[in-house]
Amino acid sequence: MLSCGEWYALQVYQRLEKFTALLLNQKGFDPFLPAYTVKRRWSDRVKVVEQPLFPGYLFCRLDLQQRLLPVLTTPGVISIVGTGREPIAIPESEIEAVRRIVRSATSAEPWPYLRCGDRVTISDGPLRGIEGILAEMKNACKVVVSIHLLQRSVAVVVVREIVLPRNVARPLTGPLWTD
């Protein structure tokens, strides 16, 4: 498995994400396809299925100094995301934050990309240290972590008490400043 290089987003055909990730893995690359589980209801049953968090995209660690042809010729791959013909690397911290959310026992779900909102840090629990954007929906506190290059996000439900404004070292239980 090639583990050197930086993370890049690959645009792939929707519904072929798992297959494309498997083929990249077989070619010796290091793909990452974050997924979440959702209940799908049919007329006769309810089934729990796994869906990609970022439909039409997967991440792959690549060394751009090596040939990219094996990646670009992999069935399902459309392109490497970037500007023009120049691929843009995704910061390791963004990939690691999504990895931690997927591995945690919390329920994650796709979330619309947000441009504005308060930047926050989770102060406790298995997601401690993750930075994101605070959002609220249906009386639930959520932290949204974004992959800026893709303009896609993932949201995780957290208790409000463990969410701090970014760069604040202690919980907001009392006054921030004392005279």
Average the pLDDT over 29-55 and give the result.
Answer: 90
Alpha helices in 27-179 (DSSP H): 69-72, 92-103
68-82 per-position pLDDT tens digit: 899 999 999 999 999
> Would you state the pLDDT for residue 174?
36
The C-alpha atoms of residue 79 and residue 10 are separated, in whole angstroms, by 6
Which pLDDT does position 71 carry in this prediction? 95
What pLDDT does residue 75 have? 97
Buried b (16+ CB within 10 A) or exposed e, 8-28: bbbebeeebbbebbebbeeee
Residue 171 has pLDDT above 70, yes or no: no
| Domains detected in the chain | 6-87 (3.30.70.940), 92-165 (no CATH)
pTM of the model: 0.72
Identify the burial level of 35 via C-beta atoms within 10 angstroms of its C-beta, where 0-12 means exposed, 13-18 middle and 19 or more buried. middle
pLDDT at 172 over 50: no
Look up residue 62 and give its two tokens. Answer: 């690549």
